[in-house]
Amino acid sequence: MTEGNSTMATAYADTQPIDDTEAEAPATASPATEAAQSSEKPASSRSASPVLAGKLPTMIKGMLPPVLGILIFLGLWAALAPQVDTSLGALPGPVEVSEQGFALFDEWSAAKDVEAQFYADQDARNAAYVAAGTPERVTDFDYAGPPTFLDQIVTSLETVALGFFLATIVAVPIGLVCGLSPVVNAAINPLVQIMKPVSPLAWLPIVTMVISALVTSADPLLPKAFIISALVVMLCSLWPTLINTAVGTSSIDKDLLNVGRVLKLGWFAKLTRLVLPSSLPYIFTGMRLSLGVGWMVLIAAEMLAQNPGLGKFVWDEFQNGSSQSLARIMFAVVVIGFIGFGLDRLMMGLQALASKNRTV
């Protein structure tokens, strides 16, 4: 009986409302509670640290082979380069090449200072003319100094961008038509197979003569050498995009096309909702290959067309024949490789983004 009464009393006590003084009791104990909670937070962070520590060996293991490969290559280069004698002296090693890279950057900085001083002097002279009451003597000349190495990098990027853009807007529509029409594909395929292996050195004289005949203005919107180089890039780089687009379009699931017929989609809706989303991975793969080909072709095109880019820089240094020319050429080769690698990574990122946002 006593045990039953105590149980009922406990149950009754549990159901009783808590007054304000009792409610404030946990508040007085809150510093201890906060301390306990604060001690739990580092514990959670410490629990995450073993996960990171577990991934760290895998990351190091993945990075170790390429780092070792680069170090071995640099070591062999530094050891073997002095053994090769050229007409300009011993072949430069990594240290000499990197020194010329810093020297080229210093030349760019000095050229920018000269350009800024030129415009400052011109502004001061024009202000003096206006103050003297002879505003007709005010001049507005553009700085005409020689392009620096960084300026030539920008020119090459602009040239390959124009050529790649032209190649894409030509290759993608033709590839879509070839993929959707077996008759058109059979008609164009022989031309593609014939034109695809043609060297840029073979295209260059033809493009040069055509552009020289068409562009007769003394002050064209774009320099002739720039247009010639961009068109040569286009003619040599459009084929991978065209072929991959045609393959991707012809590989579309036939059920999708049948659904389009059932829904009575127009040709534009069929193209934008079915064909393009399904063939997008193939198109981006072709564009990635085309950009790599275009960047490789550009250097040769700029050498012969004398477009003031990296190709002309290499050619000018070769013609210069100074003791520093070989190291500068090798530094340009390294820069060309890094830029090509960066462009390839950029296209991979765009391909991943486009594939993620596909609707089919």
b/e per residue, 108-125, with b = 16+ CB within 10 A? beebeeeeeeeeeebeee
Instruction: Look at the alpha carbons of 22, 27, 33, 37 in this order and tell me if their dihedral is positive or negative.
Output: positive
The SS3 assignment for 85 reads: strand
Q: In this predicted structure, what is the pLDDT of residue 21?
A: 41
Tell me the C-alpha distance between 93 and 123, whole Å. Answer: 46
- What does the alpha-carbon distance between residue 218 and residue 172 come to, in Å, rounded to a whole number? 35
pTM: 0.78
Contact at 8 Å (CB) between 159 and 229? yes
Tens-of-pLDDT digits for all 360 residues of the chain?
Answer: 444 444 433 433 343 444 444 434 444 444 444 444 444 444 444 544 566 566 777 878 788 888 999 999 999 999 999 888 887 788 899 999 999 999 999 999 999 999 999 999 999 999 999 998 888 889 888 888 889 999 999 999 999 999 999 999 999 999 999 998 899 999 999 999 999 999 998 999 999 999 999 988 887 888 999 999 999 999 999 999 999 999 999 888 777 777 777 777 777 887 777 888 888 889 999 999 999 999 999 999 999 898 999 999 999 999 988 878 999 999 999 999 999 999 999 999 988 887 776 555
Q: Which residue has the tokens 């012809």?
A: 250
DSSP string, 239-304: HHHHHHHHHHHHTS-HHHHHHHHHTT--HHHHIIIIIHHHHHHHHHHHHHHHHHHHHHHHHHHHHH
The 10 Å CB-count burial string (b at 16+, else e) for 303-323 is bbbbbbbbbbbbbbbeeeeee
Closest CA to 302 of 205, 229, 210: 229
Which residue type occupies 49?
A: S
Which residue, chain included where needed, has tokens 């000018």? 316
Strand residue runs (E) in the chain? 85-86, 89-90
First to last CA, the chain: 75
Q: Where are the domains of the chain?
A: 31-80, 146-356
Spatial separation of the C-alpha atoms in residues 69 and 59, rounded to whole Å: 16
Q: Structure tokens of 169?
A: 């807007």
Token pair belonging to 360: 């089919």
Task: Determine the length of the chain.
Answer: 360
Say which CATH class 146-356 falls into: mainly alpha
